[in-house]
Amino acid sequence: MLTINDLVWPMSLFLIVGILVWVYLWTYIDKKREKLVFKFADYTAVLTYYMEKSYDMIHKDRILIYSLEATKLPDKEFNVYSKEFIRLTVKLLGPVLTSEFVKFFGNEDTFTFFLAEHFSSKYEGDEIRKASIENLMQSDIEAPEELKGGTISTGLPGQP
């Protein structure tokens, strides 16, 4: 007949093994977090490199014409290009780095929000568009030399 003392030994062993596995997994996860924190500069340098590369590709292919014309992207196109930027960045990062960054940011939504915010801030700081707007403003302000006080010659006989 089985007594309670016969069950205590296997249950204690099972409990001890369970606690050891839990401690091992916890330290493994904790070491992964520490690695992300200690290597933060390296991780952000890699992420920044790929985000810049993605933005340059999107800007050159899709947004540059708007920048040169000094016009703002329509909201619908901005959203499309923002999503395209996120997809391109994730594709350039690859599955391993993407999963690392998803772990670093906590979840995929936060990671994609960060990427979208980066795209938005890069677009807002578009130097080409700013320079084009300034050039347009300067050309609108400047009057032709003929109108600045000189006489306008029509070249017709009897006309000044």
Tally the domains of the chain: 1
Cα separation, 119 vs 82, whole angstroms = 6
Residue 93 belongs to a domain: yes
Q: Which domain holds residue 123?
A: 38-139
Residue 53 belongs to a domain: yes
Residue 46 belongs to a domain: yes
Residue 88 belongs to a domain: yes
| Helices and strands, counts by H and E, the chain | 6, 0
Residue 1 belongs to a domain: no
Chain centroid to Cα 60, Å, comes to 16
100 vs 98: which has the higher pLDDT: 98
Residue 117 belongs to a domain: yes
Predicted local confidence at residue 32, as pLDDT: 72
Q: What is the pLDDT of residues 49-74, one digit of tens each?
A: 999 999 999 988 888 777 777 778 88
Residue 99 belongs to a domain: yes
Cα separation, 27 vs 46, whole angstroms = 26
Cα separation, 41 vs 52, whole angstroms = 16
Q: Residue 97's closest CA among 69, 19, 105?
A: 105
Q: Residue 101's closest CA among 151, 152, 55, 47?
A: 47
Tokens 């500069």 belong to which residue?
Answer: 41
Cα separation, 4 vs 9, whole angstroms = 9
- pLDDT over threshold 70, residue 154: no
